[in-house]
Amino acid sequence: MSTEDLLFELGTEELPAGEISTMAGALVDAITRDLKHYSLTYSSAEQFSTARRLAVLVRDVAVRGPDQERHVVGPPVSAARDDQGRWTPAAEGFARKQGVDTAALTIAEENGIERIAAHVIQAGVAARDVIPEIIKNAVSAIPVSKRMRWGRSRDEFLRPVQWLVLLFGSEVLPYEQFGLSSGRDSRGHRFHHNEAVSLPSPGDYQSLLRDARVIVDEAERKRIITEQVSALAGPGETVALSQALLDEVSGLVEWPIALRGSFDPAFLEVPEKALISAMKNHQKYFHLNNADTGALLPAFITVANIDSKAPERVVAGNERVIRPRLADAAFFFANDKRVTLESRRSRLASVVFQQQLGSLLDKTERITALTARLAALVGADTDIASRAAALAKCDLVSELVLEFPELQGSAGAQYALNDGEAESVAQAIEAHYLPRFAGDDLPVSAEASAVALADRLDTLVGIFGIGEPPTGSKDPFALRRASLAVIRILIGLGQPAALRDLLDFARNQHTAPLTEDAAVAVLHYIFERLDSWYADQGVSGDVVRAVLASSGTDLWDIDLRIKALATFSTTETAQQLAAANKRVANLLAKAERDDFPAPEAAKFVEEAENTLHEMVLSTRETLSPLIAARDYASALSALATLRQPVDDFFNAVMVNADDPDIRMNRLALLNMLRELFTQIADIALLSSGAE
C-alpha cells in the first residue's frame, strides 16, 4: 500500500503559554480522528508546538483508502420488471445510480419481498482530496479561551495567523484559511533566524527547524531546560523545578538558554513565599534552596529565548527587573508589620464577601462561631482554633496580600507570629486554605482543620441558601472544590462528625434570609461528589450508593463502610447476597407496608424458616459489637454466613403463601433479614443484585 507522511503547521503570533499544549493536543486528535473516518490508515501521529506554531506530523498515511464493497437493495421486482420481463425505468435508474449495468443486477429477498440488488465496489477516497478539508475542520475546532480578529479578515483565532504549511509527501496540498494559502515555508527563530525555512518533505521538519534555532518538540525543550537549569545549581544547592513553571517556561521559548542571576541577600528578611511568588509568578524564574536546610538562596535561574553573545548583560537586565519586585514585597511586608493583624479585623467590614451574605467581617464572625463548635467535635483546642478563625481573613486587607494575592494565609501566619500569637494559631491561619486543589495537602492540625471546615461550610450553605448553586461551568465561589475539601478533611480527621448537624449549625449563623432547605441542598451536593471522588479510587458507584442508602451523614464512618463493602463486593458471596437482597426488597415492597411485626417462631412451617430465623438472631448478636466498633469488614464477613440459609429458604419456602398469617410471618422474617443487612449498606443496590 502506498503511503506518504503528512505535515501541517499553523504559524501564529505568540500564543499564551498555558494554552499551547492543549491546543496542539486537540489539533492532532481531530486530524487523526477524521483520517480514521475516511479509512486512511497511518502508523503514528506526533504533535509539535512552540509559542509561534502548532504542528502535526502523521507518518505513513495511506495515499488512498481501501475500496468499499456494498450490497445495495433497490425497488421490488414487481416494479423493476414489466409483464414481458424487461427492466423498467425504475430498475434502469437504480442501476445507473449505482454505476452498474442492468445485466449485473441480482434478486435478493428482504423481509419476504423480492427486490433487485446490486453489488457495488466504491473506490477508496484519495487522501489528497480530503486532507485539506480535514485540516480546516480540525483548526476550526481548536479550543481557545478567547477569539480575536485582525486586519480586515472576519476569521477568528486566539492570535493572528501568519503562515500555513500543508505537505503530503513532497507535495503542497491546496488549503486556504485565515486569508492565507498553504505552502512549504515555515519560519525560523524570531531573532536567530528570522526568515523562511523551506521544507522539502514532512520528515525534514524537526531537523530543519532545529537548524533555524527552533526546537518544536515540547518534551525535548523541557528536557533541555531541566538539564540546563539543574546544571546551574552549585554544590549544596537545589533548584525548585516546579512542573507548572517548567510547562509555562517551555511554552515561552523556542531556543532555551538558562542563565543564573542573583539578588541582594538583604531581601531574605522578607517571607520566602513572597520572594518566590515574585520570582515564579511574575518573572518566571526558578528559585534555589540550600540543599541541607531548604532555606531560600539569593539567586534565581531564568530561561532566555536567545543565545546572547553577551549573556552577562541579559543576566544584569533580569537582575534589574527583579529588584523592584522584591523591593515592593519588602516594603509592603515592613509596612504591614507596623500594625497588628487583629487591628485589621475592623477593615474587613468594608470588604464585601457576597452582597446578600455580608462582608468579610460578617463571614469571620460566622466561621469563628462554627469553628468553636467544630473544635470540640474534632478534638482541637477550642481557644487556639477560635483565635485562628478570628484572625484568618485579616491578612486579606494587608498591602502584601493585595499585591501578592497568592500569599493569603502565609502572610497572615507571618504577621501573627510578629504580633506574638501562638505558633499553633499562626499555623492554623496559614493551613486553613488547605487543600487548595485535588491532591493538595490537608491541614496538619485539628485546629487548622476546624477553621478550614468552618470556612467551607459557611460558604457552601450561604451560596446555596441564596439560590446560587454552581451551574454548568460556572462556579464563581469554587463550591465544587470546597465540597471536595469538606469530604477530604472530615474523612482525614478520623473522628465521628454528623455533617447534617454541622450544616444546620452553619445555616443558623447567617443573618441573611436563606432557603429552608439550604443545609439539605448542600448535603445532597456533597454526597453527589462522592461518586466521582471514589471513582478516582477505583470504587464502583453501586458501592457508594449502597452505603449512602443505609448510613447517616458521618463522612468518616461512610468512608469506612465504603472501603469495607468495596472489598466485600468483589466476592461471589456478595453477588449471591446482593441478588437475594434484591429479591427480599421486591417482596417487601409489594407488601405495601413498613410496620412488620417480629416474626413468630410458632408460625413457621418449613425447617428452612426456623433455620434462617435462628441464624438471623445469632448474626444480629454477633453484628452489634462489630458495628459499634466500626469493624465493617468483620461485620460483612458475619453477614456472609447467611448466604446458605438464605438460599435454602428461597429454595424451600413459598413466601406468598395462601394463608395470610403464614405469608405475613414470612414477610416479617424477611424484613428482619433486610434490617440486619441495611445496618451496613443496602446490599440490594449492588449491581449484581439489580440485574
Question: How do residues 233-263 score in pLDDT, each as one tens digit?
Answer: 999 999 999 899 999 999 999 999 999 999 9
- Same-domain status, 313 and 367: no
Per-residue CA distances from 486 to 130, 380, 499, 502, 515 (Å): 52, 17, 9, 11, 21
pLDDT confidence tier of residue 689, bands split at 50, 70 and 90: very low
Please give the Cα distance from 163 to 180 (Å, whole number): 7
pLDDT at 663 > cutoff 60 = yes
CA 339 from centroid of its chain's CA atoms: 42
- Same-domain status, 245 and 267: yes
Average pLDDT over residues 81-93: 88
Is the CA virtual torsion 95, 100, 103, 106 positive or negative? negative
> Structural domain tally of the chain?
5
Domain annotation covers residue 203: yes
Domain end: 285, 312, 336, which one? 336
Domain annotation covers residue 551: no
Reference 7, options 182, 190, 181; nearest CA is 182
Average pLDDT over residues 479-501: 94
- Same-domain status, 597 and 624: yes
- Which residue range is the domain that position 89 belongs to? 68-121
- Same-domain status, 359 and 327: no
Domain annotation covers residue 49: yes
Parallel, antiparallel or unpaired: strands 352-354 and 53-62: unpaired
Reference 568, options 641, 494, 625; nearest CA is 641
Please give the Cα distance from 360 to 168 (Å, whole number): 61
Helix (H, G, I), strand (E, B) or coil at 190: coil
Reference 264, options 333, 322, 313, 332; nearest CA is 322
Contact 486, 525 (CB under 8 A): no
Q: In this structure, what CATH number is given to the domain that contains residue 506?
A: 1.10.3210
Residue type at 92 in one-letter notation: E
- Same-domain status, 595 and 677: yes
pLDDT at 72: 85
Contact 647, 547 (CB under 8 A): no
pLDDT at 324 > cutoff 70 = yes
pLDDT at 121: 79
* 163: CB partners within 8 A, 6+ apart: 9, 11, 180, 183, 185, 186, 187
Domain annotation covers residue 545: no
Which tens digits make up the pLDDT trace of 52-86?
A: 999 999 999 999 988 877 788 888 988 888 888 88
Reference 271, options 418, 371, 115; nearest CA is 418
Domain annotation covers residue 88: yes
Domain end: 56, 88, 121, which one? 121
pLDDT at 575: 86
- Same-domain status, 34 and 181: yes
* 560: CB partners within 8 A, 6+ apart: 630, 632
Domain annotation covers residue 328: yes
Please give the Cα distance from 227 to 512 (Å, whole number): 57
- Express as a percent the part of the chain with pLDDT over 90: 76
- Same-domain status, 379 and 507: yes
User: Please, is 337 exposed, middle or buried when counting C-beta atoms within 10 Å of its C-beta (0-12, 13-18, 19+)?
Assistant: middle
- Same-domain status, 461 and 368: yes
Domain annotation covers residue 187: yes
pLDDT confidence tier of residue 686, bands split at 50, 70 and 90: confident
Please give the Cα distance from 127 to 58 (Å, whole number): 12
- Same-domain status, 180 and 79: no
pLDDT at 155: 84
pLDDT at 630: 95
Q: Is the pTM of this model over 0.85?
A: no
pLDDT at 100: 85
pLDDT at 690: 38
Please give the Cα distance from 683 to 643 (Å, whole number): 13
Domain annotation covers residue 219: no
* 448: CB partners within 8 A, 6+ apart: 388, 427, 428, 430, 431, 432, 434
Helix (H, G, I), strand (E, B) or coil at 143: coil
- Same-domain status, 505 and 630: no
Please give the Cα distance from 263 to 268 (Å, whole number): 9
Please give the Cα distance from 178 to 144 (Å, whole number): 16
Considering only residues 556 and 102, tell me which one the structure prediction assigns the higher pLDDT. 556
Please give the Cα distance from 180 to 12 (Å, whole number): 12
pLDDT at 99 > cutoff 50 = yes
User: Look-up: residue for cell 523556542?
Assistant: 254
Domain end: 536, 553, 575, which one? 536
Q: Is the peptide bond before 265 cis (omega within 30 degrees of 0)?
A: no
pLDDT at 103: 85
Q: In this structure, what CATH number is given to the domain that contains residue 576?
A: 1.10.730
Residue type at 472 in one-letter notation: G
- Same-domain status, 207 and 287: no
- Same-domain status, 375 and 513: yes
pLDDT at 591: 81
* 682: CB partners within 8 A, 6+ apart: 545, 546, 549, 550, 581, 585
Which tens digits make up the pLDDT trace of 108-128?
A: 888 888 898 888 877 788 999
Considering only residues 473 and 383, tell me which one the structure prediction assigns the higher pLDDT. 383
Grid cell digits, residue 435: 487543600
User: Please, is 216 exposed, middle or buried when counting C-beta atoms within 10 Å of its C-beta (0-12, 13-18, 19+)?
Assistant: buried
Average pLDDT for the chain:
93
pLDDT at 691: 38
